[in-house]
Amino acid sequence: MTSRLYPTPSSSPAKMSTHNTTNGMNIDVLMQQLSVAQTVLSQAVDLLDNYLTSDEQLTVHSKFLPGSTIGKHLRHARDHFVLLAESMNTPPPYILCYDTRIRNTPMETSRSCARQALVDTVKQLGEVVPDSKLNAPITLQAITPHMHEFQTTFGRELWFASLHCVHHWSMVRVIAGEMGIKLTDDFGFAPSTLVYQDREAPLGKAKI
């Protein structure tokens, strides 16, 4: 297994070529997923810059989604990216737990704090992802409510964090609608939906 992933100088040219091709494909996928993650987070920055007009709008409780506020969804979705990035900044073996609560994040109640937190996360991903490996093994710890551990990879979790983010943006869209705020057509829609509907949006431009 090790020799196949990391060929020794004695490896045949064919094996070396396959290894280099696979590495190149993995890097391409990683960069594409970085772009997706940063695009999704940037949608929230746009929300704060161009659609919300007061801090109070972050804390308005939804009538249709009990207990939900825009601020809570922004914080929760962003936390997943931060926890993943921080896990990759530690020496292996990499351990990840999405149940960890990030403290001291006033982004739930402040537009300026929320914007800064999101921008910082976009930057953090830009620094962490290029230095990580798509198939880097991660042990995911989860409370289900039983404590379980699952084996996963960095690439899989980066994609999950983006899709999880879109899921929460769909709820942000509902709450914004309750306040009479109309968001862009692609906000809160999964990339697969946008591709199926042939939407002209950043997340709908699939490169297959």
Residue 121's alpha-carbon distances to 82, 86, 139, in angstroms, are: 7, 11, 22
Residue 208's alpha-carbon distances to 60, 123, 124, in angstroms, are: 40, 27, 27
At residue 200, the pLDDT reads 61
User: What burial letters (b/e) apply to 13-47, b meaning 16+ CB within 10 Å?
Assistant: eeeeeebeeeeeeeeeebeebbebbbbbbebbbeb
Which residues, other chains included, contact 167 with Cβ-Cβ below 8 Å and sequence gap of 6+?
Answer: none
At residue 158, the pLDDT reads 98
Helix 111-128 vs helix 13-50: angle between axes, to the nearest 10 degrees? Answer: 170
Spans of all domains in the chain: 32-204
**Cα–chain-centroid distance for residue 207?**
19
pLDDT digits (tens, 9 = 90+) for 166-202: 999 999 999 999 999 999 989 998 777 767 676 666 6
Structure tokens at 181: 């705020």
What is the CATH number assigned to the segment(s) 32-204? Answer: 1.20.120.450
pLDDT digits (tens, 9 = 90+) for 65-78: 999 999 999 999 99
Instruction: For residue 100, name the pLDDT band (cuts at 50, 70, 90).
Output: very high
Q: What is the DSSP letter of 208?
A: -
Q: Which residue has the higher pLDDT, 6 or 169?
A: 169
Q: Does residue 93 contact residue 152 with C-beta atoms inside 8 Å?
A: no
Q: Is the pLDDT of residue 47 over 80?
A: yes
Instruction: For residue 105, name the pLDDT band (cuts at 50, 70, 90).
Output: confident
Q: Which residue has the higher pLDDT, 123 or 196?
A: 123
Residue 104's alpha-carbon distances to 64, 76, 96, 113, in angstroms, are: 28, 13, 20, 11
At residue 196, the pLDDT reads 66
Q: Does residue 81 contact residue 166 with C-beta atoms inside 8 Å?
A: no
Q: Is the pLDDT of residue 5 over 60?
A: no
At residue 2, the pLDDT reads 40
pLDDT digits (tens, 9 = 90+) for 132-160: 999 999 999 999 999 999 999 999 999 99
Name the percent of the chain lying above pLDDT 70.
83
Q: What is the pTM of this model?
A: 0.84
Q: Does residue 191 contact residue 206 with C-beta atoms inside 8 Å?
A: yes
Helix 13-50 vs helix 70-88: angle between axes, to the nearest 10 degrees? Answer: 150
Q: Is the pLDDT of residue 8 over 60?
A: no
Q: For the chain, where are the E strands, in sequence order?
A: 94-97, 137-143, 147-153
Structure tokens at 23: 């590495």
Q: Which residue has the tokens 């490169």?
A: 207
